[in-house]
Structure 1
Amino acid sequence: MLLLNTRPIERAQALTQILEHDQIDVIELPLLELKAMPYSAELAALYQQLLHAQVIVVVSPTAVDVGMRYLQASQIELSALNQVQWIAVGQATARSLQRYGITATVPDIENSEGMLQLPVLQHLHLQHVAFWRGRGGRQFMMDALQQRGVNILNFVLYQRQCPAQTMTQFQQLSPRLLTMTQPIFVCISSEASWLNWVKLCQNTPEILSKCQYLTLGQRLTQLLLQQQIPAVQQLESLDPESIRNFLLKQKGTA
């Protein structure tokens, strides 16, 4: 059994360590890297509107780090946002916010669908929601709120791209993946990471079809199934312990 740990490099280590402890073969192959966008006049104007926000949705630890840095650049005190309810997409993001003294609401299922089910976003009088996000991320969630008449403050704080090193690493790894007879699991945590994986496999479609995919949430699972990917297992959380338990169960039945 092999797991390709595709989480961004700063978030991959906890999963790798817990799996290696159980003698599960792991290769870190990050499909996304996150790079801060420059602080701009557009962002500065958005930060001034942040004072009217009722909810701030924060989608990653990187969004916390860049968002807080640019909040300071905008000369806005965190105390000026006392009226805001914070939503973190997952526990790692919530821990990052906690370092600033912020207690955030976290959905049971750590994705857009899970966040949309939170009571705070079901409020009839919800008018202004800010998103601290990366380019291309959370469009489904923002569209769903806009259809309900909610005004979206769209903070694009970083861009997501496939690391150049991953492309080189994949080329070196491909012969091994092509000849492996043991199961190969690939963690897919977002549509962006899936699209990068498909691009990596464009010259070796055999790898794309032979792998088994661990997908976060129902929407991502359906996306892969619609593309005729045969082996898809839905995750409800990216918690390393839950992924470990799933893989140990698979290992036991192999």
Structure 2
Amino acid sequence: MAVLVTRPDVRGAQLTEMLIQAGIFAIHLPLFTIETGRELNDLPNKLSQLKAGDYVFAVSKHAVQYAVDTLKNTGFSWRTDLAYFAVGQRSAEFFASQIERAVLYPYRQESSEGLLALDAMQDLSEKHILILRGNGGREYFSEQAQLRGAKVETLECYQRVPTAYNNAEQISICKRAGINRLVISSAEILQYLVDFVPESEHNWLKSCQLVTVSQRIANLAKQLGWCDVVVSPRADNVHLLKTLLSAD
């Protein structure tokens, strides 16, 4: 087994190192860098406009980190009269550790669908929800929350910036290295990878087993032409490593 890890930044580097320590050849090829979002300066004002009992939802650890740093730098603190949510356990734990508040997350299904299944999300009339996120991304939660009566605002805490590579050269390296498994942690990365790889190499690309973090991304991969797709039960590196090892 030889694995291509596309997860960006330190988490991708950590997973690559974990694979190497487990005796598995791995290459880290982050397709994006994560940079400061264009709306972060609006965060203190957006938080102050929320009513007691309103919701703040952080889409990822990146959103949490940039939001936390911004409030620290501006001298504001996280309000105690709001409810805080995240989509995954690791993000929720990190969020809670940074803001010293309880953070709810969907334990059974770490996705927008799981979040919407929480009791707190059933009747959203009169609720104002602030979503801390990156540029682009999925709109499903926002759309469904509005259908349930919520007023929803999004705030771009970070942005994904495509990394400049010689595409053909990178794919040549991957093929020579015998890459036959791909780790894909978001739909955006999957779509960008398809665009990144020259069309003449798509047969090779889609012959690789694809390991991902949600059934939604798995379904998208199958629509794009993959047959061998495995879903990790959770999105953190420990579960991704276990999934890769068990799929061998």
**TM, length-normalised to structure 1:** 0.84
Inter-partner Cα distance in structure 2 for 1:249 and 1:77: 43
Corresponding position of 1:119: 119
Which of 204, 207, 216 pairs up with 1:207?
A: 204
Give CA-to-partner distance per residue, 1:114-147, whole Å, 9 cap, x none. Answer: 2222222224556211100011123111111112
Give 2:82's match in structure 1, choosing from 75, 81, 84. 84
- Inter-CA distance 215–119: structure 2 relative to 1 (3 Å threshold): same
For 1:243, give the aligned amino acid: L
Separation in 2 of the partners of 1:105 and 1:211? 36
- Distance change (3 Å), C-alpha of 1:107 and 1:40: closer
Output the amino acid matched with 2:67: G
| Residue of structure 2 equivalent to 1:196 | 192
Q: Distance in 2 between matches of 1:151 and 1:207?
A: 45
Matches within 5 A, 1:4-43: 4-39=4-39
Deviates more, 1:136-145 or 1:35-44: 35-44
Q: What residue in structure 2 maps to residue 105 of structure 1?
A: 104
Q: Distance in 1 between matches of 2:53 and 2:91?
A: 19
1:1-254 matches, within 5 Å, as 1-39=1-39, 45-51=45-51, 54-72=54-72, 76-78=76-78, 81-97=79-95, 98-108=97-107, 109-123=109-123, 125=125, 127-164=127-164, 167-168=165-166, 170-178=167-175, 184-203=180-199, 204-251=201-248
What root-mean-square deviation, in Å, do the aligned CA atoms of Structure 1 and Structure 2 show?
2.5
Amino acid at match of 1:208: L
Which runs of 4 or more aligned residues in structure 1 lie more than 4 Å from their structure 2 counterparts after TM superposition? 39-45, 72-75
Describe the superposition over 1:159-207 as per-residue Cα deviations: whole angstroms up to 9, x where unpaired. 113222xx33x53332244456x66111111111111111111343233
Provide closer, same or farther for how the CA distance between residues 242 and 184 of structure 1 changes in structure 2, counting only shifts above 3 A.
Answer: same
CA–CA separation in structure 1 for the residues paired with 2:227 and 2:52: 46
Task: Give the CA deviation at 1:23.
Answer: 0.5
Q: CA deviation at 1:27?
A: 0.9
- Which stretch of the first structure deviates more once superposed, 186-195 or 120-129? 120-129
Deviations 1:81-103 (A, max 9, x none): 21222112223323432133123
Q: Secondary structure at the match of 1:99?
A: helix
Instruction: Determine if contact 1:58/1:133 at 8 Å carries over to the other structure.
Output: yes
Aligned partner of 1:17: which letter?
A: E
CA–CA separation in structure 2 for the residues paired with 1:201 and 1:226: 17
Contact kept in structure 1, 2:55 and 2:130, CA below 8 Å: yes
User: Tell me, what secondary structure is at the counterpart of 2:99?
Assistant: coil
Distance in 2, Cα, partners of 1:16 & 1:59: 23
Percent of matched pairs sharing the same residue = 27
| d(CA) in 1 for partners of 2:50, 2:34 | 23
1:186-238 deviation digits (Å, cap 9, x = unpaired): 11111111111111113432332222111221221211222232221122212
Unmatched tracts of structure 2, length 5 or more: none
